[in-house]
Structure 1
Amino acid sequence: MLIDLQLHSTYSDGYLTPTELARLLARQGVKAAALTDHNTISGLNEFRQACRQYKIKPITGLELYVKLGNKRFNILWYNFKEPDQELHNILHNSQLRRRGKTRKILKKLVKRGFKINVDKILDKYSQYIPINRIVGDIRQISRNRAKISRELKNKNPREDEIIKRYFLNPQIGKLHESYISFERVLKLRKRIGGRIIINHPAKYGYINVDFWKKLKKL
């Protein structure tokens, strides 16, 4: 049986709506799936309804950016009880922080000669601000494309190159994720349940064996 337990929709940095995702999964023969958008659960109800329509078992899911001490990492959280007001507040706060950071950088890009309607772009995204799609919005304007190509000395720069130059640049501002206290997440899990899994465990070299031992004790 085919399953897919990490999917992102237009509610975070994906390019398909929850319904479109379910339709695609059905065509691929997937029988169980979890929508795990970044720091938001707003797409879950639509995803559940669409999955049932296509005879796919929907699994409640969420991907979170969390911090523990000076470590930053991702977790996947499955089968928690929702809706829950505290979870909603935690996610909403992280979304507001990221929105504020994004607004500051976009305003700086305007001062540097980019043609950007900051409010119009941000209003497109009511939940998690997806930097990949923000880059896409900026590149839709020919003047911006020309400026990017000129400054990066590349007619067709990759998305990650653009992000590094304009959104991870100390001279402009670094758009880091809005991290949530892992200890707070664990405390909340005691009440709403679910299973937490470390995502991309080998992605960051600084997360070592001693750190994993510390996590197991929590």
Structure 2
Amino acid sequence: MRAQNILNADLHCHSVVSDGTLTPEILAERAKANGVELWALTDHDEIGGQHRAAAAAKAQGLHYLTGTEISVTFAGETVHIVGLGFDTDDAEMQQGLRNTRGGREQRAREMAESLAKVGIHGAFEGALKFVGNPELISRTHFARFLVESGVCRETPEVFRKYLTEGKPGYVPHRWATLRDAVTWITQAHGVAVIAHPGRYNFSANEEYALFTEFKAHGGQAVEVVTGSHTPQEYVKYAETAREFGLAASRGSDFHSPGESRTDLGALPFLPGDLTPVWELLSDRIQE
């Protein structure tokens, strides 16, 4: 397998195991059909789909890296840290992810109560239809319910009107710490990656602090080319990777054919002078 920057790697996407709408098997088929050569499934705070994803990748002739996306609280914001190439049997990572998932159901019930106060009833049960497991319920599942019930036309509208800070359905959650997430990943022999940094509402000083602390804890990479970044942000975070000596990752953050603005495998390649994250993980790639 080529290990250069022109490799079509997609190292960030979600299945029905968290808040995606496709199974790991269908995602593997879609990735293969779209020309992906190296793939990772990165469900939120969950590794329960990893064996299925690896088996599906093998059946499709795809190279595969284990993955997850861990929710972290940093400077009052929710930040996502992707883990790649780790040992899925690592006990501390499994326990850490269980603890992180543990607060989701209570938060979801509070969100439903808040929505009921503005006349939207049955939101918890409605959201649960889209996930099936209260441990994995998220704002995305509430958004799908509100679209299905006709409250909003599309999921971005739901987030704007109801599920962001200051809106009726928003409830903050205390996630893992940055140190926790990076430590779980690295002690399980994986590489920690800051996911889609352009999405966070940080000042320049806060963003600098995020990257500084991330690297100090052992983080090694950043998503440069990702579905939620603009071309200008590709350039910005390529420079950030150079500044902090981080490897670069690439991932669509694909959730659903009807919701995601970038399909699996459809992103531009990484800038040629950056170190691709998969070069750090060559011995962890499953063939």
- Secondary structure of the 1:6 match is coil
- Secondary structure of the 1:174 match is coil
- Unmatched segments (≥5 aa) in structure 2: 1-6, 218-287
- Unmatched segments (≥5 aa) in structure 1: 150-155
> How has the CA–CA distance of structure 1 residues 134 and 171 changed in structure 2, closer, same or farther, with 3 Å as cutoff?
closer
| Counterpart residue number, 2:248 | none
Do residues 29 (structure 1) and 35 (structure 2) align? yes
Do residues 75 (structure 1) and 81 (structure 2) align? yes
Kindly state the Cα deviation for residue 81 of structure 1 after the two structures are TM-superposed.
1.1
| Separation in structure 2 between the aligned mates of residue 114 and residue 58 of structure 1, nearest angstrom | 42
The answer on whether the counterparts of 1:95 and 1:178 sit within 8 Å (CA) in structure 2 is no
The answer on whether the counterparts of 1:62 and 1:77 sit within 8 Å (CA) in structure 2 is yes
Q: TM-score, normalised by structure 1?
A: 0.80
| Counterpart residue number, 1:181 | 177
Do residues 201 (structure 1) and 197 (structure 2) align? yes
> How has the CA–CA distance of structure 1 residues 171 and 132 changed in structure 2, closer, same or farther, with 3 Å as cutoff?
closer
Q: What amino acid sits opposite 1:161 in the alignment? A: E
Q: What amino acid sits opposite 2:214 in the alignment? A: L
Kindly state the Cα deviation for residue 64 of structure 1 after the two structures are TM-superposed.
1.3
Kindly state the Cα deviation for residue 209 of structure 1 after the two structures are TM-superposed.
3.0
Match of 1:14 among 20, 24, 27: 20
Q: What amino acid sits opposite 2:181 in the alignment? A: V
Superposed CA offset, 1:7-38 (max 9, x none): 11112222211111001112112221000111
Kindly state the Cα deviation for residue 66 of structure 1 after the two structures are TM-superposed.
1.6
| Separation in structure 2 between the aligned mates of residue 166 and residue 210 of structure 1, nearest angstrom | 30
Within-5 A mapping of 1:1-218 = 1-68=7-74, 70=76, 72-116=78-122, 118-119=124-125, 121-122=127-128, 124-126=131-133, 127-141=135-149, 145=150, 148=151, 156=153, 158-168=154-164, 170=166, 172-176=168-172, 178-204=174-200, 205-206=202-203, 207-218=206-217
Structure exhibiting the larger radius of gyration computed from Cα positions? 1
